[in-house]
A and B are shown apart, each in its own frame.
Chain A
């Protein structure tokens, strides 16, 4: 599935897609979902909650592992993907589409510049794989 060019990436393997205006949609990368394995639960806060760049906003659980989710940007959650509550496997099946997690209204869009582009993230994942 790889790493789509229109996205920005964090070192914790989240992606951010600029939607309209100051809104970004957030999820985890194909690499991350594969590493986690079968995802069985996602705990993310409701709309209206403030999130901060680099801070944990929620938790994702696979059969064997629990991981924190980190926000790529600072802002207020404008919507969450309610489907994930009943079908967390959407993150495995379609990490960049149906498996999106939440949208955030950014308070400072320049933060996007601190995230990795596809080339940088691809190189970063290769480094991580090498251990």
Chain B
């Protein structure tokens, strides 16, 4: 997606250029793929801290008296037990049970919820939600006015405590948010992320993005904080088996196939996609998203075929080298029969069949 054919830039683009980032096109956005190097940024997040520009991601609010009812209609999870300050992860599904997007849902108040959505899906999600809820509630695309920065890693709390006010960081538990000031700017501070490490994401007025980034950077650089790009974001999330929309999940993949069934609440009542998903749950999915490790030397890449006895039984959805485990790992949508841990199959790597094994996930477990 582009605006007038031109790539879009976040408010932090000048910082990325100043830091010498390598910039790539990411769904129509000019984003940093790396600054100092993907390996270095990966380990900064695992061992110290990394700061990510995620202003390209979007937020779509659902507001009004019927907000909860409408959230329940468009979202697979059950939002009814949520309290203010709670965050849920879940899916937006189409009538066929395919995934429109994976989202985090924030409850601000009884009449005010918002979804944090993938950059590539902002317009699609907003149009779909608006269409589904009609006049029953108000759908608001807040993506153009909001900014998001992520601070991830074991030192994230220490760094943030130096630049935040009016908030008790320790009291923000996983998948909760609170309000405070970061670099003097009012922000929603959430204990969320996409790396598997402790950390935060901040939601604030878009024009304050540079100020917040610079203050956090100043506070953290002496502690080992590094700017981290899309490359590290991808290697980190892959080690956690966090699915990526467009790679591992998409409109023709169901949450059950993607092993995201625990984010579907069939008991809550009707929601879009429920019938199809219930049918699939009862009859069983033909495919499953398996996490695997290469036994032979080679790197699995997206799209490579998975073979058993010369037959194609699936394909790689994401893959690469895991710096933390020193294995070459991947996810693959494969025939359900071949998705169980311990199964061996072959990945077709440029004409060579290389042996791999389905393993327990996540691939990486955070050090306590």
Contacts and interface: CB of A to CB of B under 8 A. Distances in A.
B298 A63 contact: no
A64 interface: yes
Contacts of A38: 37-39
A90 B280 CA distance: 49
Nearest to A62: B38
B299 A40 contact: yes
Interface in A55-102: 59, 61, 63-64, 66, 85, 89, 92
Contacts of B34: 37
B297 A63 contact: no
- Specify the main secondary structure of chain B where it touches its partner: mixed
Given A37-B38, A41-B299, A43-B298, A63 B321 contact: yes
Contact of B321 (A40, A43, A59): A40
Interface size of A as a range: 10 to 19
Nearest to A68: B350
A63 B231 contact: yes
B235 interface: yes
A86 to B, nearest CB: 9
Contacts of A66: 299, 301
Contacts of B298: 41, 43
Nearest to A89: B39
B320 interface: yes
B39 A41 contact: no
A63 B26 CA distance: 16
Contacts of B299: 40-41, 61, 66
A68 to B, nearest CB: 10
Contacts of B38: 37-38, 63-64
Contacts of B37: 37-38, 92
Nearest to A64: B231
Given A38-B38, A41-B298, A41-B321, A63 B235 contact: yes
Give 5 nearest A-B pairs by CB, closest first: A40-B321, A38-B39, A63-B38, A38-B38, A41-B299
8 contacts: A37-B37, A43-B298, A63-B234, A64-B33, A64-B38, A64-B231, A66-B299, A85-B297
Interface of A: 37-38, 40-41, 43, 59, 61, 63-64, 66, 85, 89, 92
Interface of B: 22, 33-34, 37-39, 231, 234-235, 297-299, 301, 320-321, 328, 350
